[in-house]
């Protein structure tokens, strides 16, 4: 369908494509790509109003297809797009893409947060929704939300590390210990623990943690030496040279 119309399509080709896609959508009204292509033909022809009518007809015919709803939102002005997406999430409440687009269309931060928090009620296991929501929060609220996020998505390395980053030293250690239990094959969590000790001047703990990491992970997952060395380089670049040195010694020694 996508190849039917190009930016330089002449009038004759547009007419042919329009006739073909009109037939496609009438013959198989549940075929979402047909509606998308049909609307885009009209956009190419400069018939925006007609394209909007077609894509809304597509939404009615394919209410469970998120791409049709997203196209409809794209083709309409923001106020109408918000209304369209409100309908869309009512039809497909577990569509992460629809909720994120709905939040993007809101004008102020509080409205964006309200949309995303509502989305999390329907999709609490979406890492992307948690990340987008937390980005809008102040530090204290972000910490609270991250605590809830790791309960809902305990397999997310990024969420655990973000939570540890916002915590005090003692709390961060507890968070990383819980993270290791939740994701026992993650080397990044061990590295974060070593970097935490370096940041707080606990130099003697760094090598101990790295050695324990290699011993523990050896029995759970195969991590190539190159991966550890890349992690060491990353540590040095991020301001943790002692963690970098400990990784190099442990992997090459």
**pLDDT digit string, tens, across residues 232-247:** 999 999 999 999 999 9
Look over the chain and give the mean of its residue pLDDT values, rounded to a whole number.
93
Residue 121: pLDDT above 90? yes
Query: Which string of DSSP letters, residue by residue, matches 87-117?
Result: HHHHH-TT-HHHHHHHHHH-SSHHHHHHHHH
Q: How far is CA 135 from the centre of its chain?
A: 12
Query: Which is nearest to 237 in space by CA: 195, 186, 188, 189?
Result: 195
Query: Which is nearest to 75 in space by CA: 103, 27, 128, 38?
Result: 38
- Distance between CA atoms of residues 104 and 132, nearest Å: 10
pLDDT at position 55 is: 98
Supply the DSSP symbol for 167: S
Q: Binning pLDDT at 50, 70 and 90, where does residue 10 land?
A: confident
**pTM (two decimals):** 0.86
Q: How far is CA 222 from the centre of its chain?
A: 27
**Of 160 and 253, more confident:** 160
pLDDT at position 253 is: 65
Look at 1-10, 45-54, 176-185, 199-208 and tell me which has the smallest mean pLDDT: 1-10
Residue 9: pLDDT above 90? no
Over residues 52-79, mean pLDDT: 97
Q: Binning pLDDT at 50, 70 and 90, where does residue 203 land?
A: very high
Cβ–Cβ under 8 Å, residues 119 and 104: no
Which tens digit of pLDDT belongs to each residue from 149-179? 999 999 999 999 999 999 999 999 999 999 9
Element (H, E) at 11: helix 11-27
């Amino acid at each position: 369908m996508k190849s039917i119309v190009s930016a330089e399509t002449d009038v004759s080709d547009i007419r042919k494509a329009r006739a073909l896609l009109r037939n496609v959508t009438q013959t198989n009204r549940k075929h979402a790509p047909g509606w998308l292509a049909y609307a885009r033909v009209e956009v190419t022809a400069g018939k925006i109003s007609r394209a909007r009518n077609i894509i809304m007809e597509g939404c009615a015919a394919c209410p469970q297809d998120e791409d049709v709803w997203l196209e409809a939102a794209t083709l309409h002005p923001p106020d109408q797009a918000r209304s369209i997406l409100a309908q869309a999430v009512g039809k497909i409440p577990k569509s992460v893409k629809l909720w994120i687009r709905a939040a993007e269309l809101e004008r102020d931060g509080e409205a964006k947060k309200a949309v995303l928090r509502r989305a999390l009620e329907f999709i609490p296991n979406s890492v992307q929704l948690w990340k987008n929501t937390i980005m809008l929060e102040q530090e204290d609220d972000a910490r609270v939300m991250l605590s809830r996020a790791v309960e809902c998505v305990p397999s997310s390395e990024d969420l655990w590390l973000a939570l540890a980053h916002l915590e005090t030293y003692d709390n961060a250690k507890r968070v990383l210990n819980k993270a290791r239990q939740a994701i026992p094959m993650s080397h990044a969590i061990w590295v974060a623990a070593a970097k935490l000790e370096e940041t707080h001047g606990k130099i003697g703990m760094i090598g101990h943690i790295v050695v324990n990491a290699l011993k523990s992970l050896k029995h759970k997952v195969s991590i190539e030496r190159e991966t550890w060395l890349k992690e060491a380089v990353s540590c040095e670049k991020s301001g943790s040279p002692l963690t970098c040195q400990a990784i190099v010694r442990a992997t090459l020694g």
